[in-house]
Amino acid sequence: MTEIDLTGYSALIGESFSSKVDLLEKAIGSAHYPSLGGYKERLLANTLRDFLPKKYEVGTGFVLFPAENINPKSRTHFDPHNQSAFNVSKQCDILVFDSSNVPAIFRDDDFVVVRPESVKAMIEVKGSLSITEVDATLESFFDFGSKWRQSQIFYREHHQELCARPGMYVMAWKIQSKQGGKLTTNPSRIRERISNFYKSRLNPTDGDAFPVLNKMLIYNECEIGDVYGSEKHGNKFISTYGWYSTDGRFTRIGQDGAPYRDKDRTIASLLAALHWDTDKSNFNRFFSYTEEVKNDQILAYKYRGNTWAFKLDEGQSNRMTSDLLL
């Protein structure tokens, strides 16, 4: 059997980002941070275009959400159910959307305004991540999730087909550091911040069809993602839902048989998640998941852990896992 190194290949996809960003930083330094940020967004968008199925497009822009119009201009229309107001999302750095079945509302090159039913994923790109930036991003995601769920309730009440939840991701390039190089936060604190944010904003029974942050990826450092688990209470197990943190680099086995921490895994993890979001029926884990080891915990990572936001009974668990309103 031919030895194929898909793990090394996936790691090099992420590594190529670092070399290109480093080249630009060497050339312009800190002269113009907006240009560097825009370049990172473009790099990521172009990579997604290369690796996602061609029926899906990658752009930037807004999502327009239909909602109940409580003050219609005309009450004599033959079908008042067709009268709706519209909410617009905040601008999304990267939108992955289906243009083969659902037309865009507006398009100018890669700048788009799209319907919720076309959106498969949204990604926010961050340069330097601080707790303040995490909080602002969560507020923005909650705004998107609230408008999404409101539109789905409107659809359900007016007999319009519902939409599956989009994936929601953050791709950050590093954690902010103080003068002298000390980090202002760490992946464990960020994980706890995310879990506590949703715990304070959502009830488990409100979780159906409410998009939440699926992954916050910090390049070359860590992956923070949502996760289901269970806890034993007496003679029964209670389902739990929260966020985990794990290593953002591949664990590989050296020639001496010992595990070692290799190159970036976050870009490969984002691509795998998007493959699932865009086409679950054709998802193939043997190509999307390229880890070399079956258990990534064979190598210690000091920020690994879970923070549970919710404890769920069976009915609540079903609602949280459902893409559609129950």
pLDDT of 78 over the 60 cut? no
Pick from 295, 313, 263, 306: nearest CA to 10:
263
Cα–Cα distance, 163 to 120 (Å, whole number): 10
Please give the C-alpha separations between residue 142 and each of 122, 124, 135, in angstroms, as whole numbers: 13, 13, 10
Please state the domain extents for the chain: 6-321
pTM here is: 0.90
pLDDT tens string 124-172: 999 889 999 999 999 999 999 999 999 999 999 888 999 999 999 999 9
pLDDT tens string 244-256: 999 999 999 998 9
pLDDT at site 84: 75
Identify which has the larger pLDDT, 233 or 200.
Answer: 200
pLDDT of 321 over the 70 cut? no
Q: 246 with 255: CB under 8 angstroms?
A: no
